[in-house]
Amino acid sequence: MDFVQTYVGGIQLVGAAGATWAIVPQVGDLTQVDAGFSTTLGRFSSKWLANGTVFRIEISTPQGTTGTVGVPLPGNYTTETLSSADGGGDVVRADESGRYWIRDLAGGEHRFVVVGW
């Protein structure tokens, strides 16, 4: 794993081989990232795009794992809404970190979109 996967892509293995994980991308001035790697449990990937009006992230994690996703929001995050969240998990409103948090998300393929980026 390198800087792109773990920091910019935000993929962090919390439990052994990624049985639990977190995906918390660090956007900065970048507009897109496609990062990923594999462990003995399977493939982890984080692909996101920030185009000025929308932030979209697509993640893929192995079945049988669980994790947390921190979806970044733009400057005045208190007025933004998470416009789509598929695949379950508990969505928590943005907090002082400027992110929406989706906790207890089952492994699989998921997409999250923030409109008003």
CATH of the domain at 96: 2.60.420.10
* pLDDT value of position 44: 98
Q: What is the distance, to the nearest Å, from the Cα of residue 10 to the centroid of all Cα atoms in its chain?
A: 7
The answer to whether the beta carbons of residues 51 and 43 sit under 8 Å apart is: no
**Domain count of the fold of the chain:** 1
- The closest of 84, 81, 103, 76 to 92, measured between CA atoms, is 103
- pLDDT, average across residues 6-12: 92
Contacts for 49 with CB less than 8 Å, ≥ 6 apart:
31, 32, 55, 56, 57
- Give residue-wise pLDDT tens across range 59-112: 999 999 999 999 988 765 544 556 555 656 656 666 777 888 888 999 999 998
**pLDDT value at 27 more than 80:** yes
pTM, whole model, 2 decimals? 0.85
Q: Determine the Cα–Cα distance for residues 86 and 102; give it in Å rounded to an integer.
A: 10
- Bridge partners for 50 per DSSP: 55
Pairing between β-strand 99-106 and β-strand 66-72 as defined by DSSP bridges: antiparallel
Q: Can you point out the beta strands (E) in the chain?
A: 11-13, 20-23, 32-39, 42-50, 54-60, 66-72, 81-85, 90-92, 99-106, 109-115
Q: How confident is the model at residue 28 (pLDDT cuts 50, 70, 90)?
A: confident
Name the least confident of 2-11, 27-36, 38-47, 101-110. Answer: 2-11
- The closest of 105, 33, 97, 3 to 63, measured between CA atoms, is 105
Domain boundaries, position 48:
3-115
